[in-house]
Homo-oligomer: A and B are copies of this chain.
């Protein structure tokens, strides 16, 4: 937990000054160390965070495959990333490899409202607080851009996860709705 406090302070200190604000997105120029994690064999995994939109689409597909999501054309995934306001990637780096283990993104009008989509943590890395770290970072970036309305649509099994992060359902009776062809 002290690690978490460390990186949060660290990120707060460097995050805003280091960021490059492009036309409709926020991006960091390089990966930021999020936390160190000791593996079962005594080896150390370093978890890094990146907000670069230069995502390896094949790696992202593998990550989404790992949680059983329906595949989407990579060409479209690239367009969606390019037209998202914030992208957060988590990587696990050790001596052998650098693996994409977490992803989330948000669309936004860049000033008032944002909607979070495609939040995923690799099953091998779930239960370590990485989903919370991912979401905290996404909210941190959106709040840093003064977005006041941060929204998402949660599947039933993750409503309590988001509630623990400060999201609430149906405030003042406001209902999330989806259009379906009649």
A96 within 8 A of B: no
A163 to B177, CA, bound (A): 8
A55 within 8 A of B: no
A178 to B81, CA, bound (A): 22
Contacting pair A156 B168 (CB below 8 A): no
A180 to B147, CA, bound (A): 11
A155 to chain B, nearest CB (A): 6
Contacting pair B167 A178 (CB below 8 A): yes
Contacting pair A153 B168 (CB below 8 A): no
A6 within 8 A of B: no
Integer count of this chain's copies in the complex: 2
Query: What count of chain A residues pass the 8 Å CB interface test?
Result: 49
Specify which chain B residues have a CB less than 8 angstroms from the CB of A181 in the assembled complex. 166
A170 within 8 A of B: yes
Chain A 129-169, CB within 8 Å of chain B: the 1/0 string? 00000000001000000000111111110010011011111
A174 within 8 A of B: yes
- Given A80-B112, A107-B113, A110-B83, verify A180-B171 contact (CB < 8 Å): yes
A24 within 8 A of B: yes
Contacting pair B179 A139 (CB below 8 A): yes
Contacting pair B107 A108 (CB below 8 A): yes
